[in-house]
Amino acid sequence: MKGWFRLKKVVSREEALSHLKEGQTIMIGGFLAVGTPETLVDGIIEKRIGNLTVINNDTAFVDKGTGKLVVNKLIKKFIGSHIGTNPETGKQMNAGEIEVELIPQGTLAERIRSAGVGFGGFLTPTGLGTVVEKGKQKIEIDGKTYLLELPLRAEVALLKAAKADEFGNLIYRRLARNFNPMMAMAADLVIVEADEIVPTGSLDPDEIVTPGIFVDMIVKG
């Protein structure tokens, strides 16, 4: 193995969790908990790291995914597209214990992607004529109206991969991909929980979905 690719990013779960702090903004991969790094989420609960702003598509279920963080009251603000599968989120929202910002799912994905790829924002027709357009700039292009949506970043991204090599190149499995590849590019610190960790050079370059340069730490799931 030559040069930079020799770098091995595999760390202990304890080491990875030591970088998570009270009050951080954390992106977490997953759609209804499929593609969510459960071991890392459980670590946040064990260490009672609270007051978090969590970005995830949904709050999954009371006993799965980011839903567990809601139940443990570790989230101050949730940013996502759906909270309906976890009754606890709605309950805490109505009680004023958690702030919820709802964003159309495609807009959420693209806002995260924008942050990762250096866009200052993007124009989308989604949300026009609805509450989503409130406070947003409207821009007309070729006679069509769009909303200007801005990038969404986080301090930390917690991702789930099926396979990682020691450099951090990632392969996902089935529907566990979802938001993970975009989040890999949109946070200051990117921690991946992988079911399988293999030596660098053993993955087929054509099959790698997320380039390892985005990944800072890998934990065995």
Contact between 215 and another protein by CB under 8 A: the answer reads: no
For the CB of residue 116, give the shortest distance to another protein in the complex, in Å. Answer: 10
Binding range to another protein, per CB under 8 A, among 8-16, 37-45, 48-56, 110-118: 110-118
The torsion defined by the Cα of 217, 37, 111 and 125, in degrees rounded to 10, comes to 160
Does residue 55 contact residue 27 with C-beta atoms inside 8 Å?
Answer: yes
Does residue 200 contact residue 1 with C-beta atoms inside 8 Å?
Answer: yes
For the CB of residue 15, give the shortest distance to another protein in the complex, in Å. Answer: 27
For the CB of residue 1, give the shortest distance to another protein in the complex, in Å. Answer: 28
Nearest to another protein of 182, 190 (CB atom): 182
Contact between 82 and another protein by CB under 8 A: the answer reads: yes
Does residue 29 contact residue 158 with C-beta atoms inside 8 Å?
Answer: yes
Residue 218 region by backbone torsions, left for phi larger than 0, else alpha for psi between -120 and 50, else beta? beta
Nearest to another protein of 31, 167 (CB atom): 31
Q: Which of residues 46-65 bind another protein (CB under 8 A)?
A: 57-58
Does residue 136 contact residue 148 with C-beta atoms inside 8 Å?
Answer: yes
How many Cα neighbours within 13 Å face the side chain of 126? 14
For the CB of residue 52, give the shortest distance to another protein in the complex, in Å. Answer: 19
Nearest to another protein of 52, 79 (CB atom): 79
Nearest to another protein of 49, 64 (CB atom): 64
Nearest to another protein of 7, 175 (CB atom): 175
R_g of the chain computed on alpha carbons: 18
Cα 106 to its chain centre, rounded Å, is: 14
- Say how far apart CA 176 and CA 166 lie, in whole Å: 20
Q: Which residues bind another protein (CB under 8 A)?
A: 31-32, 34-35, 57-58, 80-85, 90, 93, 100, 102, 104-110, 112-113, 124-132, 172-182, 209
